[in-house]
A and B are shown apart, each in its own frame.
Chain A
Amino acid sequence: MRELRAAAPADTLKEAGSVEPSESGGGDSALRASGRRALAAWPLLPAFIFLGIAFVYPVALLLGTSFVDSSGELSTVHYTRLYDSRVVSRVLTITFEIAAWTTVFSVIAAYPVAYLLSTVRGSTRNTLIIWVLMPFWTSFLVRTFAWMVLLGRNGAVNQFLDILGIVDPPTFIYNFSGVMIGMVHALMPLCVLTMLSVMESIDHNLSRAASTLGARPGQAFWRVYFPLSVPGVAAGALLVFITALGFFITPALLGSERETVIVQLIIFQIKDMLNWGFAGAIAVFLLIVALIIFFIYDRLVGLSTLSGGSARAETNAKSNFIGWVGRRLGGLFIEVMARGSDLIGQGMERAFPQRPDKPRRKGGRAAIWATALLVIVFLAVPAFFIIPVSFTEAQFLSWPPRGFSLQWYESVLSNPVWVEAGLRSLLIAISAGGLGMLFGVPAAFYIARKARFKTAMIGFLVSPIIMPNIIIAVSLFYLYARLGLVGTDLGLVIGHTVLAVPYVVVTMIAVLKHYDERLDHAAYTLGANKARTFVHVTFPLMRAGMVAAFMFAFIISFDELTIALFVTGGQVTTLPKKMWDDALLQVSPTLAAVAAMVLVFMTIVILVSELVRRRGVQVQ
């Protein structure tokens, strides 16, 4: 990250400006300092207390059963079995492999999209964002079945290839590529939005300055822009990776027999064996391995890049070996990419000399547009499939749709259960999103700016995503049974907020990396109090990040199934749960109709809110 600081002196200054209490010092003053520090940590309290009660306590009770045998005595029997099992370690490896490849593909595909979005005009940008968000609004169940119909043996893609005369088309699904298509499609929007919220705060004048100083576009991008965007890449990759660890329906439906993931083993033990001890042991194992990987990742890319600590101390090989290696590797990567793109640029200039009287060509720009549009089409494909299929006369999801019929819409709208489920899901998602922000945002501010033990804190705050949902769901049922919360909307909101907080925290930390605190200080100097500063200075600058964070929290709740299956006790229903129940025998076009309505509804909401916002800006 040498390049980063060289390119962004403002950042360095900002870091130098924030003074931390000294580590050394006499006993008394150290005590007082640590007391002050504890008091100053209040922004962490809401998140930590909430997760302590609604996540750590109930889950610890369940995981505790992994340390006792069937007669209730303390025992390591489950862990011995874990150690002996050849299947568990193999499946865990597969799980991490799938998550890692999903992350790699998501990051690579999302980057040009986020870059394009951060550089185009407002209205174009908003139109494109609507397309990027498409996967969010198509329920995971419908989406997965859409891929089955699109990419299957007699699917739309093969029909098309057949017309082109390609007789022996490749197999897209029921293998590793099927899993990748399904998972990258579902998770890439996370990456795009996280990166976008960071890229929006990058000052494009820095790249221009590099060009003025003679750098070719490739050099300017790799040496100036890219390092500045790394916090977004790091945060997006982290979110995709840990979310991917919990995916099991996509690998089950689109993968081969070898794509068995760890959550499936846990579900088998929980449901088929009622052996919660062994399920707990697997979950503990998963959590530990995931946190170790998180720790190494943090050192490698530097959570410091995530949370703005990098400029404080030059890392050296001794104090943080992994970090040092990461820096060297990162530096090398940037060097290679910068030189490589420069060579290509030189070659291009030789081959097609630039005439000084013509305006500079914008070949790179066109390439970015093309790549980004390709990715966006990929993201929007299932939506294009779902809408026509929802008007089909056939009883199944199939391509091409047959005839025209409104029967599926009729059957949804005439059934009060569907309408009620939709409204409930909407309200719960808004509440969980709001609560997630309430708990997550202050914690993110504190962690990004002041906290020590950042790695441990972020590790703790993301553990609800790593912990398989079924473990959280069963645990919450026991807690709720005692509190009388089974079957209540409040219970659902709490459960979903547990999952929402991590997304808010990680997204906000990434955005805060670039936030210049001196702007706040300037406001204070001019007489604004903390609240006014937040409303008029901090919030407007953080808006993109906040919107992204809320969006993640919202969608996590809106699409969540496992917790809803448990804590509702079946007494009330959410949209994903109703869809799941409905898909017992078949996934019918009814579900396509529901998905299409959600899609249209959400798009309208986004358009209207955008319109209102623009009005507001004009009035001001």
Chain B
Amino acid sequence: MTKQTKVKFVHRTSRRQFLMASGAGIAVLGLSGTMGSRAFASGQQLVVADPGGPFTDAFGEAFYRPFEEATGHEIRNIAREHQPTSQVRAIVETESYSWDVVIVTQADQVLLDGLGYLEELDWSGEHMDNIMPEARTPVWMGTDVYATVLCYRSDTYGEQGPQSWADFWDVERFPGRRALRRSPIDTLEIALLADGVSPDELYPLDIDRALAKLDEIRPHISVWWTGGAQTSQLLQTGEVDMLPTWNGRAQTVIDSGGPAAIQWNQGLYSIEGWAIPKGNPKADAGREFIRFCADPQRQAAYTDLLAYGPTNLKAYDFISEERARFLPTAPDNLEKMILANQDWWGEHKDDAEERFNEWLLS
């Protein structure tokens, strides 16, 4: 990972002392760098930023309440924005730590760590050792795994649903309306997999080849989607018959009785997890919280409400088989899938986006 030089747009000299009042009423004056050392006073309040919605309930039950009981710290969870990278940057640069711990995707972790915005974690302990290797970096611990999978209407295709991305491209055998994501992320991989590229040769992505393959399917794409909730709606109303989307969004349709099915084969999985904004005075308590979240039993607890996969695979000892079917890291599902290479994306996202947009607008 190359360390880019960061440009601060607020100069240090112009920064004033400010009052940062945390909910617990601890007023921290000034900007001394020694604040981290006094983090261990018991009964601290940690502000934890999660994606909101169903995460609030699921993580509350699995992590927040048990952590409060176990440690005496207090967790105040807030709903962060869908992609909170600029907030993290702003928090670090202005040293106004309105968040102590935040969930970021692996891709955003690569970006934020590349600019030095994240705090080192404490990787000691048995549970931490059991976290799957792809969910570990010095500054970030994966908490849940989500996957971009081929989802389709089971009432359209019945038992004979599409088996692979090549089937998605096969408009003769699988007639029906299709949607793709209006973004190069995952879409380029999907095109290459459909073109027969083997998973271990997927990266570095051949953008030209991917776009050429996308040319073939483009006339058959009815909707280019942009948001997760939109894909649930498309699938639920039958606007399209198949599309790649995150497994959680398809699960919402399945859970509400909609005729939707998930094809795990050739799915692309990604991970989101906890990180601490650099320089946070409560970083030690934050590290303690993150280690707590590695506990397989705790991770298993959120899967009742959230269809995402635990990163500590020992969690499956505590998860029923019926539920495990819907979780990306269940052994049967995980072996069919491919890890999206976020390091490649970290270096090429700008270029890929430009090329993809150019292709879309052509």
Contact = CB atoms under 8 A, between A and B. Distances in A.
Interface string B226-258: 111110110011110000000011001101111
Given A584-B51, A585-B229, A586-B249, A91 B257 contact: no
A477 B87 contact: yes
A273 B107 CA distance: 10
Nearest to B251: A585
A206 interface: no
A486 interface: yes
Contacts of A265: 357
Contact of B98 (A149, A272, A486): A486
Given A272-B111, A584-B52, A152 B83 contact: no
A376 B164 CA distance: 48
B78 interface: yes
A481 B99 CA distance: 13
Contacts of A153: 177, 222, 237-239
B227 A274 contact: no
Interface residues of B, number: 72
A154 B239 contact: yes
Nearest to B307: A585
Interface stretch (B10-18, B202-210, B266-274, B327-335): B10-18
B232 A396 contact: yes
Nearest to B107: A272
Contacts of A571: 47, 78, 98
B7 A396 contact: no
B7 A65 contact: yes
Interface in A557-573: 565-566, 569-571, 573
Interface in B282-330: none
Contact of B228 (A271, A395, A474, A584): A584
A270 interface: yes
B215 interface: no
B213 interface: no
Interface stretch (A125-133, A249-257, A320-328, A334-342): A249-257
A570 B99 contact: yes
Nearest to A61: B9
B127 interface: no
A178 to B, nearest CB: 10
Contact of B229 (A62, A483, A583): A583
Contact of A174 (B5, B15, B94, B222): B222
B342 interface: no
Contact of A486 (B5, B54, B96, B230): B96
A152 B89 CA distance: 40
Interface string A416-445: 000000000000000000000000000000
Given A271-B83, A585-B54, A253 B227 contact: yes
Interface residues of A, number: 67
A539 interface: no
Contacts, number: 189
Contacts of A71: 5, 7
A201 interface: no
B85 A272 contact: yes
Contacts of B7: 65, 68-72, 277
Given A253-B227, A585-B53, A587-B229, A91 B350 contact: no
Contact of A85 (B82, B253, B354): B354
Contacts of B96: 481, 486
A396 B230 CA distance: 11
B360 interface: yes
B19 A260 contact: no
Given A257-B182, A585-B228, A586-B252, A481 B9 contact: no
Given A487-B98, A569-B98, A586-B232, A272 B237 contact: no
B353 A268 contact: yes
B85 A271 contact: yes
A482 B9 contact: no
B39 interface: no
Contacts of A487: 98
A145 interface: yes
Contacts of A586: 229, 232-233, 236, 249, 252-253
A260 B55 CA distance: 30
A541 interface: no
Given A152-B239, A478-B90, A174 B98 contact: no
A451 to B, nearest CB: 33
Q: Decide if the interface of chain B is mainly helix, strand, loop or mixed.
A: mixed
Interface string A62-91: 101100111110000000000001110011
A409 to B, nearest CB: 19
B112 to A, nearest CB: 8
A584 B54 contact: yes
Contact of A70 (B4, B98, B223): B4
B228 A570 contact: no
A90 B354 CA distance: 12
Contacts of A258: 360-361
Contacts of B227: 252-253
Contact of A396 (B16, B18, B233, B357): B233
A273 B222 CA distance: 29
A397 interface: yes
A304 interface: no
Contacts of A277: 7
Interface string B345-362: 000011001100110110
Contacts of A155: 237
A582 interface: yes
Interface in B104-121: 111-112, 115
B237 A398 contact: yes
Nearest to B8: A72
Contacts of B80: 570
A260 to B, nearest CB: 7
A581 interface: yes
A344 to B, nearest CB: 43
Contact of A272 (B15, B16, B256, B353): B353
A273 B86 contact: no
Contacts of A581: 51-53, 79
B94 A394 contact: no
Contact of A565 (B81, B94, B349): B81
Contacts of B87: 477, 566, 569-570
A385 interface: no
A76 to B, nearest CB: 15
Most buried by B among A481, A482, A583: A481
Contacts of A154: 237-239
Given A274-B86, A276-B9, A585-B53, A569 B99 contact: yes
A275 interface: yes
B226 A253 contact: yes
A585 B249 CA distance: 5
A548 B229 CA distance: 34
A86 B353 CA distance: 12
19 contacts: A70-B7, A86-B358, A91-B361, A145-B229, A154-B239, A174-B222, A174-B224, A252-B182, A257-B224, A260-B360, A268-B353, A276-B86, A394-B256, A481-B95, A482-B10, A483-B18, A581-B52, A582-B52, A585-B252
Nearest 8 pairs of A and B residues by beta carbon: A395-B256, A481-B94, A581-B52, A584-B53, A569-B98, A570-B78, A481-B96, A257-B224
Given A149-B233, A396-B253, A570-B79, 11 more contacts: A71-B5, A85-B354, A152-B237, A174-B224, A258-B360, A272-B85, A273-B111, A474-B86, A484-B19, A487-B98, A584-B229
Interface of A: 61-62, 64-65, 68-72, 85-87, 90-91, 94, 145, 148-149, 152-155, 174, 252-253, 256-258, 260, 265, 268, 270-277, 394-398, 474, 477-478, 481-484, 486-487, 565-566, 569-571, 573, 577, 581-587
